[in-house]
Structure 1
Amino acid sequence: MNNITKDRLATAMFWLGAGLVLLILGTLIAYIFYHGIKSIDWKFITSPPQSIRAGGGIGPQIFNSFYILILTMSISIPIGLLGGIYLAEYAGRSKMAEGIRVAIETLTSLPSIVVGLFGLLVFVNITGWGYSLMSGALALTVFNLPFLVRVSEESINGVSRELAAGSLALGATKWQTIWAVIIPSAFPSLVTGIIITSGRVFGEAAALLYTAGMSSPALDFTNWNIFSPSSPLNPFRPAETLAVHIWKVNSEGIIPDVRRVADGSAAVLVMVVLAFNFCARWLGRLIYRRLTAE
């Protein structure tokens, strides 16, 4: 077999692998949309669920999913970025740094149910917060932080060292070089890691069962007092996310239209994740152009 044949065979294998991935993904999305899109309307998206009769919606669950995403990422992104900067620029290959990397890899492989039980012990019981959005957000932070630290470290290490050396040669300090040169150059990879982490937050259910809870109080969306139990902005209230709601209606099956609610909820979840990914990538490219003056 000559080199040209080997090259064509390898290229065909690469195209076949990519095609299989797209085929599996497209089949999965098409199946979810086929069964769920007919159940979606404005009432279904905005109204609260019904526990006894048919006709329930998923409005509070959608809001809870976005709210816990904001809480989680507002905690995870700064800590993950600072941890990645430390490992990439300051830690080097010391024993402590290697110990941190081993700990991060170990935490990355933890099942989400274990993180949920840890959150139940620490954030629910020890802190006294009970089942709440904050408990769920902190549990998801523990779950996602190792991945964010690793992505941040790899993104920063992928930046050309000549850029950093040129900045230092012009008289910039190390921190100025990191903030003004390295971070903007690593921004596309950082955005990709943040998008993947955000998608995991949307789809996570096991860790939230033991921390955020499986029910939500009746919410008054005209009440913006964050200390009120009925306020949607109260971070210390129980909250059922959309992924938890899908698991709950399928496992309990106490409503007559459980299939309709489950299929519609799954389709909405997929659409939200897709829309979030597209918007986040568009915003990431816009910020990258501003940072790099393209």
Structure 2
Amino acid sequence: MKAKLKDKIWTKVLYVISGFVILLLFALIIYILFKGVGFFKPSFLFGNAKYGESGGGIGPQLFNSFYMLVVALIISVPLGVGAGIYLAEYTRKGIILNIIRLCIETMSSLPSIVVGLFGLLVFVSMTNWGFTLLSGALAISVLNLPALTRVSENAIREASKPVKEASLGLGATRWQTISKVVLPSAIPEILTGIILASGRIFGEAAALLYTAGMSAPRLNFAADNLASSTSPFSLFRPAETLAVYIWKLNSEGMVPDAAQIANKASAVLVIMVLLFNLLARILGKKIYESYTGKK
């Protein structure tokens, strides 16, 4: 009876703690959305702020955030998934594996501001690129690689347990087994990790302050030259993202309604991060059901 009573008490305590966390999250979201009323207006989402003038928008910063997201994923996803395949299928227990895991754990614990300073020294100064979108994407990739590697390794290892030996027993090579059997089974978990990493990329600011810069040149979407500084698709131009812009508004206040714009931009940022998390859950579940035949 004492054991059952203790179990009920601690179960209720855990429910209370979980409820408090959920309530705190909802209160934070409601407060941010309340402070940023009007963030969904097209004039704000696609407008452009002018120095010293009120009523600006976040169009260039929003585009830079999505473009930074795409470029960073193109760099980090192949490396992260490839490293996960190597750790799950090709490595053996020993000193080399221990060194790799130590490096991954060390990289995952690095503060983003430290990664930003590393990016400033390597991707900005040593390459002579200056503050560019590519420098920011590379710095963000350094931040995301440990998490993507761990997610991919765990997903591949768990997916390979029931099917790996059967595939090899039928005469398939190791690479055929990985590419045709194991990876498709692990895609839902890997995709979930990628989408969650996308939310971090979209909301990152500290690492981008020192790599992508804090200026947003006026973008000319009609430009044909990708190397032009005014081309929106150029990788070698400064790219002020939405999170960096929020920090800049609160620290410099270069427009009369800086606080209002920052509140609205924060609401947009929170909504986008929530959508990334919801999309990870929904899409991962759908893909899992399509592979397992469940409905």
> Which TM-score applies when normalising by structure 2?
0.93
Deviation track 1:124-161 (CA, whole Å, cap 9, x = no partner) reads 11112111100000011111111111121122223362
CA displacement at 1:224 relative to structure 2: 4.5
Query: After the TM superposition, which residues 121-270 of structure 1 pair with which residues of structure 2 at under 5 Å, given as runs?
Result: 121-159=121-159, 161-270=161-270
Q: In the alignment, is the contact (CA less than 8 A) between 2:188 and 2:287 conserved in 1? A: no
Matched, 1:79 2:82: no
Q: In the alignment, is the contact (CA less than 8 A) between 2:132 and 2:235 conserved in 1? A: yes
Question: How far apart, in 2, do the equivalents of 1:142 and 1:133 lie?
Answer: 14
Secondary structure of 1:37 counterpart = coil
Counterpart code for 1:145: L
Question: How far apart, in 1, do the equivalents of 2:250 and 2:18 lie?
Answer: 33
CA displacement at 1:16 relative to structure 2: 2.0
- Say what the alpha-carbon RMSD is for the aligned residues: 1.8
Q: In the alignment, is the contact (CA less than 8 A) between 2:39 and 2:45 conserved in 1? A: no
CA displacement at 1:288 relative to structure 2: 3.8
Q: In the alignment, is the contact (CA less than 8 A) between 1:191 and 1:281 conserved in 2? A: no
> Which TM-score applies when normalising by structure 1?
0.94
Secondary structure of 2:207 counterpart = helix
Q: Which stretches in structure 2 are left out of the alignment for 5+ residues?
A: none
- The aligned counterpart of 2:51 is 51
- The aligned counterpart of 1:88 is 88
Q: Which stretches in structure 1 are left out of the alignment for 5+ residues?
A: none
CA displacement at 1:274 relative to structure 2: 2.0
- The aligned counterpart of 2:13 is 13
Q: In the alignment, is the contact (CA less than 8 A) between 2:116 and 2:207 conserved in 1? A: yes
Counterpart code for 1:197: A
Question: How far apart, in 2, do the equivalents of 1:56 and 1:132 lie?
Answer: 24
- The aligned counterpart of 2:64 is 64
Cα separation, partners in 2 of 1:184 and 1:3, compared to 1, 3 Å:
farther
Q: In the alignment, is the contact (CA less than 8 A) between 2:195 and 2:279 conserved in 1? A: no
CA displacement at 1:210 relative to structure 2: 0.6
CA displacement at 1:281 relative to structure 2: 3.9
CA displacement at 1:283 relative to structure 2: 3.6
Task: Quote the sequence identity (%).
Answer: 53
Q: In the alignment, is the contact (CA less than 8 A) between 1:148 and 1:194 conserved in 2? A: yes
Counterpart code for 1:114: V
